[in-house]
Structure 1
Amino acid sequence: MKLYEKWNKWKSRDKISGKNMQKKKLIDKNIIQKISIFFVLLTTITLVLSINFFPDKILLKESQICTKDILSPGDFEFVDVEATQNLREKAAKSIKEVYDLNLANIENVEKQIDNLFSKIKEYQEKANESSKDTTSPITENDRRLTDNELNKMANEINEDLGLSISEKVIAGCLQLDNLSLEKIRVDIKSSMRKIMEQGIKEDDLENAKKQLIREISEISLDHHDALIASEIATSLLLPSLFLNEEDTEKRRQEAIASVDDVIRTIRKGQIIIRKGEVISSEDIAILNALGLKNPKINFFNIVGIIMIAAICILVVFLYLNYFYPEIYENVNKLILLGIIAIFVVLLAKIASQASGYLMPIASASMLIAISLNPNIAILLTVILSLLIGFIPGGGINYILVSVISGIVAIYSIRKITQRSSLTRAGLIIAGVN
């Protein structure tokens, strides 16, 4: 009898352990299925929401013919570098060069004039001493000096002073008396200072020489003296203005800095380059500015979407586990919720190309409310509305409309009894949208 009881106990214990093992296997399988559903949902929703963060690379070069219309994928504001540069170059060119009066040049020229006439008088005195006649000037009529001797003296004067005045002119001066020489010297200095103080640029030197000749002619009484004075003056004339590069550059930089960046706005869907057009450098600059020529994947946005999607799915799972464990343990119902969520996000992505107000949240809310539970439908409505708000082109206004239309849809079918109720609910939702 005891053996029989022990046998029954052992057999019943074996059955219990077998059931526990079977139950454990079912639990493990259920967990794996839920984890699989979680990752499938996460992967699918992330791909749909982040597909726009993988832009197509536009392989175009300057002078090529565009084979299709290139549209802007979104609203962009960018600095038109070429237009900005052109405006800044124009502003810089509008600033005239700054010149300062070179007083040192004026003083140097006057000093050269004084040295020249002092030298001429010195040679006259030497010649007079050699002829032992200090009262008579050196003239051709006195026949004391030949032309060769006069030219030799003129050459020596040029070499001593480092000048390049015509020897004939200096020779003529050597034959003049002191009074005439002094008159010529004074005329040259006064005319020279007047012209140089007006400012002479290097490229205006020839015009200044002509003006100087006119000035000397007006103040000279003797035509012969005027010719000599003009020859000497034009030989010694120097530019009196020098370019102030530092001040000029400073003003140009100020002009450049005063030019604001040229901001261009490109709207979503706007044609950047039309089919059949030849690609210009400006087109390439726009493509580069918009990041379409060498697009970069924004991994931070993708990671952000993954995290938000994971949190949203996890919230739904925890909510179902805590408040509706019978649905949470039913894998088929979880799959149903997952399919609805994926289709809603996918259809919302497609509908957003036309209008964000066409996102099918309300239909999903009605379907979940009818097939499962209105409370679950409300949670899914809020979660899905939040997720589709991350679709490019979406916004807070679309999220609010989706939430409101979804809740109205759930409320409108709370006591559904026939098909006409669904029709009425559809009309109410249409009115809300």
Structure 2
Amino acid sequence: MKKKFSDFIDLLLNMKSMWVTIFIPVVALGVFFFMLTLNNVSTETYDIERFNYAKETIRSPITIENEQETKRKTRETVQSIEDRYDISQEITDEQIGYTSEIFDAIGKLEESDGNSEQDSEGKEAVLLTTQEKVQRLQNILSPEITEKINDSLLINLLEATPKERQEGKELFITSLSEVLNNGVRTENVQSATAELKQKVKYSNVGNDVRQALIPLSEFAVVENSFFDVEKTMDARKEAASSVEPVIIRAGEIIVREGQTITNEIYEELKLVGLLNKERNVYPLIGLALLIVLVMGVIFYEMYAIDKRKQLDKGTVASILLISFIVITLMKVVSLFTTQINQLFFIVPAATGALLLKQLINERIAIVLAILYAILGSIIFNGEIPGSLNIEAGIYFFFSQIGGIIFLMNVKDRLAIVKAGLGMAAVNIITVFLFLFLSFEKYSLSDLIYQSGFGFASAILSAVLTIGLLPFFETGLGILSDIKLLSLSSANQPLLRKILTEAPGTYHHSIMVANLSETACEAIGANGLLARVGAYYHDIGKTVRPHYFIENQLSIKNPHDVIEPRQSAEIIINHPYDGANMLKKHRLPKEIIDIALQHHGTTLLKFFYYKEKETNKHVKESDFRYPGPKPQTKEAAIVCICDSVEAAVRSLKEPTEQKIEEIVSSIINDRLMDGQLNESPLTMKELHKIHKSICETLKGIFHSRIQYPMKEAK
């Protein structure tokens, strides 16, 4: 029961620690992001009245359909569609047939009258009078014709010559066909008749024929075009469907400064929410949800770092400060960015990615690079709510990822400059990508201008990284690869001190560094940290260098003349003397911890058993290092390699079998003694460490060819 209660208390303490270490900084970062992007999504509202003058140019914050205007446009389009009529070809043919019948009947009558044969007495038949001819025509013509035409029309045609009638027939039928084929509706029968009369009136036909054709027009022209409901409705539906919706697009100018606020403009302002304050809530909710997602990702990444026991105040402060710097740079540049100048190309966004990779790790650099790119697409949206500047987001993403990829094999600060050149190439390619994908044509000056921005962004990122890196290293106590490389220089005062005052220890430290680095790299630990830590792990031996066997060259061992307890005290003190010296010279905490922990709580067996020969009641604790035990993988590996190097160096004939036996013996001894209990090393990793150390030692102590000695004469 007590154990469960104790575990519960530990859980609460851990939760409290996580709340302070991770949650509060993440919330602070989220609030900062929200405040800087607030005006990019919030819609400004205006106190405007109809028919006043606009005090400033107002753009639409959103893209929306003006439904009322679309309906009006549709209505006007439908109303502009004329009614559809169906022309009756049957009526057209009928009227043309009636007209032809009149001319044909007169022609037949005249032909039969002119060819009259003699009667039975041999006398010629008497010719018919005009009235008789009219009477005969009345008898042979269709009732529809005789009911509607008068005798004077027929008389005029009978008095005309056959040639004139033929010309009149051709003219009339042609003109009538044209009029009827155009369609004659009820309301335009008179206009169609007048049109046909006009054609007859100004024709070249004879006067008699003309006098007949003019009244014939009134008979021939009839209604032959009738309203078609179905066709009319289909035409109107097609016209209505072809009307494009009236869209007010985000960024579109609704009213310019000094322009009168008409009723139409006022309704558009109202539609896009510039007169309604309640409408602003929704973009803010959307932004808040985005920031919550961003905070969630950052929280998870920081929690993952904390689980690896790598999260400290410096790491948290670095994430916060770098995020502040990058987002602030974006915001400042966005204030001077317009739709004409694409200033986001010059933002040194990759500074954050370069710093994060150097100070923390590559994973957090990639994750935050993606988040910075997303926030950048909002910041550079031209303050148009609901829109994202995808070009800016893509550009920031590739620029930062390029910096992360090109920042490899860091040996000095020049590596950052080289990464900057690689980023410049990526930036220019991305700029060209946007230019070539665009439908607009760009001149050579545009290509050079915008590519120059991309190049300047990369160089600025490298310069800012180099300038800010010492601040983070010194001010926040964060250890970067560049800092480690500078500490590994032989010109460092403490390393020169070991070399001059304890040359044997210096050589021993170099050997331990080589073994530790390869072992760390075998399991994915920080090999550079282990190497530099190994350089300084025995700096405490410089306090009394001659009390350590590797420095006892051609001198008597001072331990032979002092008590074992006193010897043990001198030996045991060297990690703590070294830690004090490293603190005095302000070396990073990680290096100090390796010096402090590289012996853990191991037993000085030689002096312990020597003391036991004379004092059977000796306490083992008096001959153990006070600790602490190694807390990190790097410290644990240095602890193992320190003992391995000393043991192998003591071998007179180091064979492969002996090397493997010694390495296995030391690792097992550290395990059995509990020296690795507080380090995160696993059994699988210990196996890899064993293999790596053995391979390195075999390479150092490889067999050599025995050259023959020259015989003395």
TM-score (norm 1): 0.52
Match among 211, 221, 245 for residue 238 of structure 1: 221
Matched, 1:44 2:24: no
CA deviation after TM superposition for structure 1 residue 315, in Å: 0.9
Displacement of 1:69: 2.3
- Tell me, in whole angstroms, the C-alpha distance in 2 between the residues paired with 1:397 and 1:271: 28
- Hey, what's the Cα distance between the residues in 2 that align with 1:418 and 1:318? 25
**1:67 corresponds to 2:55:** yes
- Indicate the residue corresponding to 1:396 in structure 2: 394
Letter in 2 for 1:322: R
Q: Which moved more, 1:192-201 or 1:294-303?
A: 294-303
Q: How does 1:14-413 map to 2 (within 5 A)?
A: 26-34=13-21, 36-37=23-24, 40-41=27-28, 43-44=30-31, 47-48=34-35, 51=38, 52-56=40-44, 63-71=51-59, 102=89, 104-111=91-98, 114=101, 165=149, 170=150, 172=152, 180=159, 189-199=169-179, 201=182, 202=184, 203-215=191-203, 218-220=204-206, 225-226=208-209, 229-238=212-221, 273-279=255-261, 297=283, 303=289, 306-325=292-311, 327=312, 336-337=317-318, 339-340=320-321, 343-344=324-325, 347-348=328-329, 350-351=331-332, 352-354=334-336, 355-356=343-344, 357-358=346-347, 362=351, 374-376=358-360, 382-390=366-374, 391=376, 392=378, 393=380, 394-399=392-397, 409-410=464-465
Q: Return the alpha-carbon distance in structure 2 between the equivalents of residues 21 and 211 of structure 1.
A: 111
Secondary structure at 1:389 match in 2: helix
Q: Matched residue of 1:312: which SS? A: helix
Deviation at 1:322, TM superposition (A): 0.8
What amino acid does structure 1 have at the position aligned with 2:34? Answer: L
Q: How has the CA–CA distance of structure 1 residues 20 and 108 changed in structure 2, closer, same or farther, with 3 Å as cutoff? A: closer
Are the structure 2 counterparts of residues 136 and 241 from structure 1 closer, same or farther at C-alpha, using a change threshold of 3 Å? closer
Q: Quote the offset at 1:229 in angstroms.
A: 1.2
CA distance in 2, matches of 1:178, 1:377: 111
Tell me by how many angstroms 1:108 deviates: 2.0
The 8 Å contact of residues 44 and 274 in structure 2, kept in 1 or not, is answered as yes
C-alpha distance 61-182 of structure 1, shift in aligned 2 (>3 A): farther
Contact 2:193/2:217 (<8 A) preserved: no
For 1:49 and 1:42, the matched residues in 2 are separated by 11
Question: For residue 107 of structure 1, what is the amino acid of its counterpart?
Answer: E
1:65 touches 1:277 (CA, 8 Å); kept in 2? yes
Q: 1:146 maps to which residue?
A: none
* SS at structure 2 position matched to 1:65: coil
Q: Is the 8 A contact 2:53 2:258 kept in 1?
A: yes
Q: How many residues align?
A: 342
Write the letter of the residue equivalent to 1:196. Answer: L
Task: Tell me if the contact between 1:100 and 1:244 (Cα under 8 Å) persists in the aligned partners.
Answer: no
Tell me by how many angstroms 1:275 deviates. 1.8
Q: Distance in 2 between matches of 1:19 and 1:188?
A: 124
- Relative to structure 1, is the Cα distance of residues 48 and 188 closer, same or farther in structure 2, using a 3 angstrom cutoff? same
- Mean alpha-carbon deviation: is it higher for 307-316 or for 38-47? 38-47
Q: Which runs of 5+ in 2 are unaligned?
A: 106-125, 185-190, 337-342, 381-391, 404-419, 421-459, 476-713
Query: Structure 1 residue 171: deviation in Å?
Result: 5.1
Aligned counterpart, 1:428: none
1:380–1:193 distance in 2 versus 1, CA, 3 Å? same
Give distance in 2, aligned partners of 1:358 and 1:177: 97
CA contact (8 A) 2:153 2:215 kept: no
Go from structure 1 to structure 2 and tell me whether the alpha carbon gap of 1:278 and 1:418 turns closer, same or farther (over 3 Å shift): same
The one-letter code of the counterpart of 1:347 is T
Gap change, CA 1:212 and 1:189, over 3 Å in 2 = same
- Return the alpha-carbon distance in structure 2 between the equivalents of residues 275 and 63 of structure 1: 13
Residues 56 and 413 (structure 1 numbering): CA distance in 2 closer, same or farther, change over 3 Å?
closer
1: CA distance, partners of 2:64 / 2:11? 60
SS in structure 1 opposite 2:308? Answer: helix
Distance between the aligned counterparts of 2:262 and 2:43, measured in 1? 22
Given the superposition, is the C-alpha separation of residues 337 and 233 from structure 1 closer, same or farther in structure 2, using an over 3 Å criterion?
same
Task: Tell whether the 8 Å contact from 2:51 to 2:260 is kept in structure 1 after alignment.
Answer: yes
C-alpha separation in 2, matches of 1:178 and 1:53: 88
Q: Distance in 2 between matches of 1:400 and 1:178?
A: 94
- CA separation of 1:110 and 1:21: change in aligned 2, threshold 3 A: closer
| Cα distance in 2 for residues equivalent to 1:410 and 1:320 | 25
Tell me whether 353-362 or 315-324 shows the greater mean CA deviation: 353-362
Q: Any conservation in 2 of the 1:53–1:302 contact (CA below 8 Å)?
A: no
Quick one: structure 1 residues 27 and 209, their matched pair in 2 at CA, closer, same or farther if it must change by over 3 Å? same
- The structural deviation recorded for 1:31 is 3.4
Structure 1 position 231, deviation (Å):
4.5
The offset of 1:319, in angstroms, is 1.6
Amino acid at match of 1:44: V
Give the Å deviation of 1:193.
0.8
Call closer, same or farther: CA 1:231–1:63 in 2, change over 3 Å.
same
Say which SS state the counterpart of residue 275 (structure 1) adopts. coil
User: Would you say the 8 A contact 2:27–2:295 is kept in 1?
Assistant: no
Q: Give me the CA root mean square deviation.
A: 6.4
Q: Secondary structure at the match of 2:260?
A: coil
Structure ranking higher on relative contact order (CA contacts 8 Å, 6+ apart): 1
Q: 1: CA distance between counterparts of 2:95 and 2:5?
A: 121
Aligned partners of 2:4 and 2:153: how far apart in 1?
A: 139
Contact 2:58 2:255 in 1 (8 A): yes
* Distance in 2 separating the partners of 1:359 and 1:283: 41
Name the TM-score, length of structure 2 as normaliser: 0.35
Contact 2:348 2:461 in 1 (8 A): no
Q: Is the 8 A contact 1:42 1:310 kept in 2?
A: no
CA distance, structure 2, for counterparts of residue 278 and residue 214 of structure 1: 58
